[in-house]
Amino acid sequence: MSERYLPASLLKEMNKDESIVRFDAWRTKDNTGILGVTAHYDKQRAVYTTSLENDNLGKAINTVFGDELAEVEGMIRPVIIAERALAKCVAILMAGRAEQTARRVTATQIEASRIRKNQYENHGQLMSGMEDLHRRVQEQNSIMTSLYIMVQDGIRGQRMTETNRRIKSVTRIAPSSSNNEGLLRALYDKVGGNPHVEDLAFALMKCSAFTDKALAHAAYVATTSRFHQWLTGQYSDTILIDGHCGGQVVEKVSTMSVFCATLVRSIQELPQSPELRRHLVLYFFCGQHSYQYGDHNGPSVLIASLITQLISQWPEQSLTDLPPAASGLHIRALCQIFSSLLDQLPPKINLYCILDGISDFETVLGGWADEMRVVGECIQAITTRFKAHIHADAATVKLLLASAERSDGICDFFVADQMIDLRAGHLYGQDVSPGVLVEALQGQVSYPWESSVGEVESQYFEQLDGTGS
């Protein structure tokens, strides 16, 4: 057996998938036999071993190839050594590259963690800043609300003083009649002073408790042609509004209450002039008087309050004796007194009567549902009677009844043309803040009342048809 390193060129030519490679046979000189040669290839060491069938063959090979193989082996050995060194270098490079890649991955992960940390800190600072801004806005709203309440308290005090003065002056209109004086004191006691002034301020203050969308839903009524007709028309008129406010109620104040309070305020702040028609406004917020306990609640207090408000604003003219309430201040007697006062209104008076939350009284408890039917009959009779007054100087009476959702019983006294339903969910397309809405409503109320009846009707219908300037 002899061991030789195979040349690289021979290794490439060999079939490395086989462990035994057969070479061309060597024949004897006389061609009488074949000397078999077998080469065993060791893949790990890249060497081969030869086995011969007889010793003579080995000697023959050594004789023929001995020097040449030794010379080839001497030439190939440095190449093999270089290849091994190259393999080691490649291995070292691969290991270094892997280590370098690992370092870069680690550095990238560290940088990503740092960025995430910075983003988290920045987000936290942003949220903290937003919370601080929100807190400051709330503080500013609280300050504005407090200022608003202070202003309203001052206005309320002035109005209460004026109301008391006017009531006392009315009692002196007919000093010889003890019936007037006693009736006025009884009405004043039944109402409990002037709660309507406090109710108005309370409804306006609750504006901030609702979203702009909820307020815009209620304020949409101001854009309807039927409301415009009621507000600006020269004749007496009555409308019923079903708000469908979707439960937007806070402490018995709904978004429709805020709209009604804004409407009252807009009429109150209209400039008054002796040359123009005078605007008077009566109002009542039923939600604030819908409790079954207490002496100042229910439909009878509603009518009594309207009477005291009307008397306190009565023009500086004589007032005849009020009809006696022989059987007490029950609902029918109160409606009779109120109707009688309206009949005595002097010319050039526009009287607005705004009743909010009317459906809060539509309950069988305390007999309020029956009393509300009496109120409905009274309103129906007033509407019919005053619609007959069509001359330019006649007093006009405009009644507006509103419910946060939908009225149940009082609607029986209204026809379809007198009803406004907000079920469709339309929204007022402008700013719904009370100040802006007051200006918008005042712009509608400021109507050329000094015009003739024909001119007023012509201008109104031109606006409806879109042909007016």
**What pLDDT does 335 receive?**
93
This prediction's pTM: 0.60
| Lowest mean pLDDT, pick from 162-176, 289-303, 338-352, 401-415 | 162-176
**What pLDDT does 21 receive?**
43
| Lowest mean pLDDT, pick from 92-106, 118-132, 163-177, 427-441 | 163-177
Statement to judge: residues 394 and 282 lie in one domain: yes
| Cα angle value 381/383/199 (rounded, 5°) | 100
**Other CB atoms closer than 10 Å to residue 258's CB: what's the count?**
29
| Lowest mean pLDDT, pick from 140-149, 253-262, 401-410 | 140-149
**What dihedral angle (degrees, nearest 10) is formed by the CA atoms of 348, 417, 214, 282?**
30
Domain for residue 250, yes or no? yes
At residue 269 the predicted structure's pLDDT band, cuts being 50, 70 and 90, is confident
pLDDT average, residue stretch 163-181:
48
For residues 195 and 289, the answer to whether their CB atoms sit within 8 Å is yes
Statement to judge: residues 65 and 196 lie in one domain: no
Structural domain boundaries, residue 16: 2-99
Q: Name which residue leads in pLDDT, 276 or 397.
A: 397
Provide the β-strand partners of residue 402.
241, 356
Residue at which a domain ends, from 40, 64, 99:
99
Residue at which a domain ends, from 99, 117, 147:
99
Domain for residue 130, yes or no? no
Quote the percentage of the chain above a pLDDT of 90: 19
Q: Name which residue leads in pLDDT, 159 or 227.
A: 227
Tell me the pLDDT tens digit for each residue of 253-266. Answer: 999 999 999 999 88
Statement to judge: residues 91 and 191 lie in one domain: no
Statement to judge: residues 420 and 306 lie in one domain: yes
Q: Name which residue leads in pLDDT, 154 or 176.
A: 154
pLDDT average, residue stretch 17-27:
43
Domain for residue 124, yes or no? no
Domain for residue 147, yes or no? no
Chain-wide mean pLDDT for the chain? 75
Which spans in 321-420 are helix H? 331-343, 368-387
Residue at which a domain ends, from 40, 65, 99:
99
Domain for residue 112, yes or no? no
**What pLDDT does 48 receive?**
45
For residues 308 and 188, the answer to whether their CB atoms sit within 8 Å is yes
| Lowest mean pLDDT, pick from 150-154, 227-231, 281-285, 305-309 | 150-154
Domain count, the chain: 2
